[in-house]
Amino acid sequence: MATLDQLMQIKGVVAAGEFTPGGELVDFRSALSMSQDQAGMTAQFCSTVSIMFNTLAKAYTHMYSNTNWLPPKFWAYGGGDMAVCVGGTKGVFVEIAKADFNLLFRTLQEN
């Protein structure tokens, strides 16, 4: 299981955080000027999106009996120059142009 400090060492990662399934911020690291409040709001967003994808995975596994979408491993959203990538209860902000998404997803799904 990667620590936040290890996640911060991955090329392109500019922030890493951990949150509870209920959306509370556990801890974060950032090379950006990210406040505790911003990190806390991000934890809430990430938890909410993860819950939505968990529901989607259950529905897809049920609807398409020849595929398995469980357990969810990771998700990502990219816009502009940045992406957020989440696996379990840890996530990162990453610069898209610098990111090694294969490494990020492998690392995040180990959490």
Q: What is the pLDDT of residues 95-108, one digit of tens each?
A: 999 999 999 999 99
**Segments forming the whole domain that contains residue 78:** 4-91+98-109
Tell me the CATH number at 78: 3.30.450.30
CA atoms within 13 A on the CB side of 55: 6
Q: What is the pLDDT of residues 50-62, one digit of tens each?
A: 999 999 999 999 9
Q: Over the chain, what is the mean pLDDT?
A: 95
DSSP character for 28?
E
Q: Give the DSSP per-residue string, 69-93.
A: --S---EEEEETTEEEEEETTEEEE
Q: What is the pLDDT of residues 66-82, one digit of tens each?
A: 999 999 999 999 999 99
Structure tokens at 75: 């998700």
Degrees to nearest 5, angle at CA 56 with 7 and 69: 70
The whole-model pTM stands at 0.93
Number of domains in the chain: 1
Q: What is the pLDDT of residues 1-48, one digit of tens each?
A: 799 999 999 999 999 999 999 999 999 999 999 999 999 999 999 999
Task: Identify the pLDDT of residue 81.
Answer: 98
Residue reference for tokens 């990430």: 46
